[in-house]
A and B are shown apart, each in its own frame.
Chain A
Amino acid sequence: MTKSVKIAFYLVLTYGLIGAITDGVACAAISLKSFLSIPIWIPFLPAALAWIAAGMRGIKPEGLIWVGAISLIGGPIIAAKAVAMPMSSAESMAANFSTIRQALAISLVVMLPLCFMCILVGGMLRGAVINRALRLPRSRRL
């Protein structure tokens, strides 16, 4: 593996894992919505931001597909583990199954379109900045 391929691989893995964690939080929040004291759309914000960040990072299109795949496969698994982890072993199997079923449905219906849309928005923002259609504020922090 050349150095640039290695860097691209780690970038995809990093943004994919961030997407998976934030997607997992959104899926777990929907599964545990009885315990949610904030509006239901707020748990989707971190996942949307993570995918916008991946789009802005300048990862190649095939890499972005991998970012989406890692996020959408990892998210439901993380959600199921997080929901079932504090339960006793007798109950955790049932909770795991019910959460993963619900999380997969959310991933297909909500997260998959959201993922594509946010990655495209991120890519568009990057394109707009590079083509000088949009200017980033001059700041020492960025």
Chain B
Amino acid sequence: MVDDEVRLNKLAQLVAAISLALALAITYRFGANYLRFLHWTSDTHADLVYAVACDTQDGGELSLTVELSAPAIGFRAAIESMEFSLNSSEGHYGYYRIVMPDAVPLSTMEDSEPLRLSFSRHIPPQHWPSLRDSQGPRLEGRLIVRLYLPGREVPTRIPLSGPVLLRGDPL
């Protein structure tokens, strides 16, 4: 009887130790993924290299070049779209969304050189003359990168802003 109790107590200690070890192993599994994701979101940044707006026959055209620097994360990732609005102190010149026809995959297994992306977007006639005549217009937007995490796909938004040069401005 006493022998059984001693063995039961030892078994209980063993089960408790196994439960702690299992908890640590599980924490390691998802904790490492979580820390990599936090590191990626804090260190990823997008810079607007240049944004130039010029005249076309039916409104305007905005050409953009964006540079994306992202550390390695280990999950699959792809640039999906870009959303932005054009503003100046005089007003608002529309909200725009550029969807990539094919998502641009990011190199996520090892740190690599910043990725340069070029976009262009038509500016409708209701915004173009006022944008062309505005003083110091700015682009405020975000680049949407889809991360394929183990559990689900998460869209992450990387902020982006910069001045928009108008045709005739010095580059």
Contact = CB atoms under 8 A, between A and B. Distances in A.
A48 B16 CA distance: 10
Given A18-B19, A49-B22, A142 B38 contact: no
B23 A37 contact: no
B26 A43 contact: yes
A50 B12 CA distance: 9
Interface residues of A, number: 39
Nearest to A21: B23
Given A37-B150, A46-B26, A53 B12 contact: yes
Contacts of A88: 42
Chain B's interface: helix, strand, loop or mixed, by majority? Answer: helix
B20 A21 contact: yes
A56 B42 CA distance: 46
B147 to A, nearest CB: 9
B20 A22 contact: yes
Interface in A110-135: 122, 126, 129-130
A47 B20 CA distance: 9
Contacts of B30: 28-29, 32, 35-37
A35 B8 contact: no
Nearest to A37: B150
A87 interface: yes
Given A22-B19, A142-B14, A87 B38 contact: yes
A142 B4 CA distance: 10
Contact of A58 (B9, B14, B19, B38): B9
A130 B4 contact: yes
A8 to B, nearest CB: 13
A52 B19 CA distance: 10
B33 interface: yes
Contacts of B8: 56-58, 126, 129-130, 136
A52 B14 CA distance: 11
- Can you list the 5 inter-chain pairs with the closest CB atoms, starting with the nearest? A49-B19, A37-B150, A35-B33, A46-B23, A53-B15
Interface of B: 1, 4-5, 7-16, 18-20, 22-23, 26-27, 29-31, 33-35, 37-38, 42, 149-152, 154
